[in-house]
Structure 1
């Protein structure tokens, strides 16, 4: 959530940055400032009226003591009228405050100056890329490979739940567990503390990280308990520090977690969502950092390098994209996507997003730290996939297939207990 004082002090600049994100309601900035003006006016009116009541109450006692009964009675009547006026002022102030908050959350985060202009994925900027592999012979996509080697049963998942809920079996289940363990070990070796968070969160948590009110249509909701199934462990991890004031020496906070992720993905269909390409339930290992404001872009670069080295260890071809304004999330200030290349499908598959939210989430979270002067400052929050499993598994299977089986990268041998799936 943006800060009102920033909107007030840098109004035109804010509108320019919102335009980079292709935000279509810049007039909301002026509306928010007007609502804040009204809130301040009502608060001043309430305070002034209360001050008159307090001063007059003292004056009434003095007038009574000096025998000025008639003047005292008139002042009593005035105090009664002033007290009666307080409740309407208080009510209008509360209504204005609520409207201000409801309007403020409609504004997305402001994109960093590094964000390229553009309206869609075609406008994203390629930062780095590796060479695409070529495969010889009868190349199969992963949905056929998983059937051939009995790794995943998509039909059984449809029977049990519905499409987009695969059943991993045998060596497929083992490979899934192998990847999770390797990713967690890789992250913890880099200083990330492992957490097992809840997989359902309440409305306050979903609001604090920006899923609400932006993505409620993509989230599964447990109506009776008013809980949301998490779309990523970023949500519970970041909310660990909701309503918290950290000491500067406690920063940076670095966390990692495995979790199932649940996304409705409404409207998804067609060849690009076959097999593991797009699921309603999938597994992911996440990394999150909570840092001092002036260190968040250094932390973002560190996270980028961390994820890049992880992909390199898996021997997967990849590219890194800096997302344009029109392709960024509602909450992000700057996002880099990692994509791996599927030689069987001949397309790039997104496997990680690494984002800096600056203070957008922490303002909602009310997560602050005391700086060296003892003043409270908003932290900056960052998160990244390290990594999302479905498309990683798809690329591993497709790019490493041979006539005799599927070769696994060396870093997985000790976890999987074998070098090949045959």
Structure 2
């Protein structure tokens, strides 16, 4: 959530930065915001006037009582002021609640270093690593390569519908090995603490990281009948949600920072609005696995942490020998809560292109305000932490990349050396 004082101080400047995002204004109803702000200031000014008058009357009453004089009129006015103050407080609560609701649907402001662009065409390539392999045979895609190894979309569809897959045998083991390899790398070499989190979370948790209220249609809801007191719950679309919210409503000791957390979890996404996109294979599924990285940092360290996190994601691809490139996303292609995002795109031979495999984002204090997560600064005052998240990596897409980049002419798959300890020493997968 944006700092409302930023909007109060210079609303036109904030609107100008919001207008660089993909969807045009209004993210924020300027006219209604200004009307509410006028009402708020009016109520607060009147409240201050009433409090000052009440203080004056209290002194008068004390003086009059000391002289034995009648205080009926003053007492009646104090009672009237109390009633008006109560009504003013109720009115202010209503105004503040509407302002809060408005702010919950406003995205983060892009950092000044983010390139301005309307869509992915405005993203800026920062660097590349590795050289795509030259094949001397006809390249197959991961669907054809995976089928003999146990990649089964028919069973997935029979069990759950389209955009679900069923893995068994060698490919299931490869999928598990990838996740274990990623977790081991992030914990033993990069200093993250491994976590196991719930896959179902309450509504306010999703509000904390920004998935709600704006992206409700992208979530899978957990429907519970027969008890109106049950909380509104959802399946997580990423473990960023549960990892980041693990510090919600806390005042952290600065000595704890940075907090670095990682988890392997399934992710559930309805893929609303993606009809017809990536319908073949594992690129866009309703259920997929991901190893997530989260950092909770001091505000002065968050951009340093962002660069570090990108390096942690790159390390996975480098150890697997998978060519990739790093992009800085433009203003029109960033996520709702991000102020700056880097995407990693891995090379997929069958598509002859790079495809996203990780996004690493700095959200600054945007999520912290929504979660009410602070730390004690050097002056002993509460200050918002900064939060960052990144994929380290999407397991299914990494599986796709391994199959396609390490395929052989006979359809077998050479296992990358980094994965062989997780595959019982197996060097080649055959159907």
Judge which range, 310-319 or 222-231, deviates more: 222-231
- TM-score in terms of structure 2 length: 0.91
Q: Give the corresponding residue for 2:128.
A: 129
Q: Give the corresponding residue for 1:115.
A: 114
1:248-274 deviation digits (Å, cap 9, x = unpaired): 211111111011000000232336231
Alignment of 1:181-200 (within 5 A): 181-189=180-188, 190-200=190-200
CA 1:286–1:25 in 2, change beyond 3 Å: closer, same or farther?
same
**What CA distance in whole angstroms lies between the structure 2 residues aligned with 1:195 and 1:132?**
35
Q: How many residues align?
A: 419
CA 1:37–1:370 in 2, change beyond 3 Å: closer, same or farther?
farther
Alignment of 1:23-422 (within 5 A): 23-25=24-26, 28=29, 31-32=32-33, 35-53=36-54, 55-56=56-57, 59-60=60-61, 63=64, 66-69=67-70, 72-130=71-129, 131-149=131-149, 151-189=150-188, 190-224=190-224, 225-270=231-276, 272-404=278-410, 405-417=412-424, 418-422=426-430
- TM-score in terms of structure 1 length: 0.93
**What CA distance in whole angstroms lies between the structure 2 residues aligned with 1:11 and 1:229?**
36
Deviation at 1:353, TM superposition (A): 0.2
Judge which range, 259-268 or 24-33, deviates more: 24-33
Deviation at 1:375, TM superposition (A): 2.2
Does the aligned pair in 1 maintain the 2:28–2:106 contact within 8 Å? no
Q: RMSD over aligned Cα, in angstroms?
A: 2.0
Deviation at 1:163, TM superposition (A): 1.3
* Structure 2 residues without counterparts, runs of 5 or longer: 225-230
Deviation at 1:420, TM superposition (A): 1.1
SS at match of 2:247: coil
SS at match of 1:264: coil
**What CA distance in whole angstroms lies between the structure 2 residues aligned with 1:122 and 1:421?**
38
SS at match of 1:186: helix
Deviation at 1:53, TM superposition (A): 4.1
**What CA distance in whole angstroms lies between the structure 2 residues aligned with 1:74 and 1:371?**
50
SS at match of 1:101: helix
SS at match of 1:273: coil
**What CA distance in whole angstroms lies between the structure 2 residues aligned with 1:27 and 1:204?**
21
**What CA distance in whole angstroms lies between the structure 2 residues aligned with 1:14 and 1:183?**
39
SS at match of 2:420: helix
1:120-173 deviation digits (Å, cap 9, x = unpaired): 112211111243333232322111222122x22111111111112211111111
SS at match of 1:240: helix
CA 1:27–1:396 in 2, change beyond 3 Å: closer, same or farther?
closer
* Structure 1 residues without counterparts, runs of 5 or longer: none
SS at match of 1:128: strand
1:85-123 deviation digits (Å, cap 9, x = unpaired): 233322211111111111122321111112111111122
CA 1:245–1:62 in 2, change beyond 3 Å: closer, same or farther?
same
**What CA distance in whole angstroms lies between the structure 2 residues aligned with 1:319 and 1:170?**
32
Does the aligned pair in 2 maintain the 1:341–1:349 contact within 8 Å? yes
Does the aligned pair in 2 maintain the 1:248–1:370 contact within 8 Å? yes
Deviation at 1:30, TM superposition (A): 6.6
1:208-263 deviation digits (Å, cap 9, x = unpaired): 11111221110011132411111100001000111111122111111110110000
